[in-house]
Structure 1
Amino acid sequence: MDTKILTKVPTENSLVWGIAIDTRNKKLFLAFATKITMMNYDGSDYVTLLNKKNGNHFGMMFDMEGHRLYYADSSVLTLGSLDLETNVTTVYRNDTLYLSVHEFEGVLYAGPFGDRGTVDVLPGGCGPRSYVYFNTSIHGGIRATVFRIYGCPSGWYGRLCTRECGKCFNGSACDNIDGHCADGCDTGWIGDTCTTACPNGTYGERCGNLCDQCVGGAPCHPANGTCQAGNLVQELYHEDWNLVVWALVSVCVFLGLVVVVLVILLVRCRRMVVTNKQKKIGVTAGAVRNPTYQDDTGDAGDDITSVTHPDHVYEKMDNVQPPVYETLHA
């Protein structure tokens, strides 16, 4: 509608009986007489989803939230669905000619042919069938479509607004119907609804960064990559650093003890040297050298003969007068 460009999609020269659209993934579903096909909007990636030998009509609708394609095959009176994720086909009814099918809040609404203005209601797809009457004068086929405008509170989505939005970019609101984030996911989250955190070992925008090795193999934070249980490399670094610190402390203590012992030994050796020297010169600690007796005039040759020893000078007195004895009378 923006470019007004018309694209012709392959139809295999057969009538197209039904069409459904996946607006989120930009896919077209076409129902032919004997098959259901899927392709991109431009006709590329053309694949066949469902085949049958013969047929007459398919009515279809696609549930984006459940990734399920519902169909009504009037030729074999089949009402069923195809899970596009598992490729499993489920048949709900095989007894009535239905022209259309519509799923709403877990209930199938199917338009039967020739039931005079009624719509079949099948809870859960295969529950007990009830009817909605519109106009009993109508004869023929009715195509049923059930819809409403969603108005979920911000942060919620789904048919009953019971599903919480994922981590949309910058906190933006998700789609009210299927919960997808139009602006993409916030950092650390992926998936259509941005509810899947980055796989273990990755983080950041579109999970493009690799985590550091966390302690115990725990995952890192999907947004910033931090290890909530601790970084193993940093833990090992801290442990190694602690060992280095303790080793340095031990070496310093050992060297301190060696220095103290050496000082003590040096002091003791010094004392021994001093003691030995004093023994050699005959002087003990605290002794006073004997005075030197000699004639200050230097004329000691007349009366005094000086005898010199290494540390002492002994003077020999000559011409000493004998003592005088006096007789004392009473």
Structure 2
Amino acid sequence: MSFVRISSGEVVIGRPMPWTVYDDRKQVLLEQGGIVESDRHKQALMERGVFRRQPTSESRVGTEGGEKPTDSTCAFEEIKLDIGDTMQLQVQGDAAQIRYYVKLIGYFKGKSIIVSTPTLDGKVLLMREGQAFVVRMFSGKSVYAFGTTVSKVANVPFPHLHLSYPAQVRGLVVRRGARARVNLICAVAGADGRSHAASLVDLSTGGAMLTAKTPIGAKDDRLSIKFRVVVNDVEEYLTIPAILRSVHATAAAEGELPQVSHGVQFSELPHSEQVVLSAYVYRVLFEESAEG
């Protein structure tokens, strides 16, 4: 299940909310049927960023041509991972959504997958046998996931884990243009040289939708968008050239400024930026699919 940002105009003071409202960390702010009682209450909610769950039938996670990522299953060995590839471990049932990043050391078909032991601030974390995880990873233009448990914790000749070998792995082939819902603060340099504060609300490897309080430019203007993402537990700062393809204002409550939506197409991405952007977009898309 994916999430969609709620606009200020959709929050009506004194009227029961038609959906449960979440913040950008997917924590509940207001249950369905709850009432925003005052302007102050509404302002406090909007400042935190408010979202609602989006049913699969409404999902915009697809390509500009209407295609959706292809979901399938395969055997782990068919993925053709390389030694040293990064894998993400998430504790099953972990309410805090804590994720660890480890490296693939090797695998024995049907027996176990060997990975490095997670670390935090340079210190090896304590893992226990029988601990259950969801594993996620990237390969080519696909992202994969499977459930596993720690079958063996070893410290010789270095800390590593044996994970139970999955019967099947779920894969998602992400097509060019697939859009992931995000909430990223960005700085946009307009064609006039001025800098604008904006928010990225969806993102693909080929373009994005961003919102701002005022128009950033006119159709076909060239922009430069700067924002931060986290990939494989590492902060990456991207500067992406883009072309402004659409500008339109959304409805707002009386007395408030409307949000202005801007559709942009990325242009002439440097290879290094493209690799980081693809990894981030694929990860978000897969996690949205897993939650659905």
Q: Calculate the TM-score normalised by the size of structure 2.
A: 0.20
Kindly indicate which of the two structures has a greater share of residues assigned to strand: 2
Work out which structure has the larger RCO, using CA pairs closer than 8 Å and 6 or more positions apart in sequence.
Answer: 2
Task: Answer with 1 or 2: which has the greater Rg.
Answer: 1
Q: Calculate the TM-score normalised by the size of structure 1.
A: 0.18
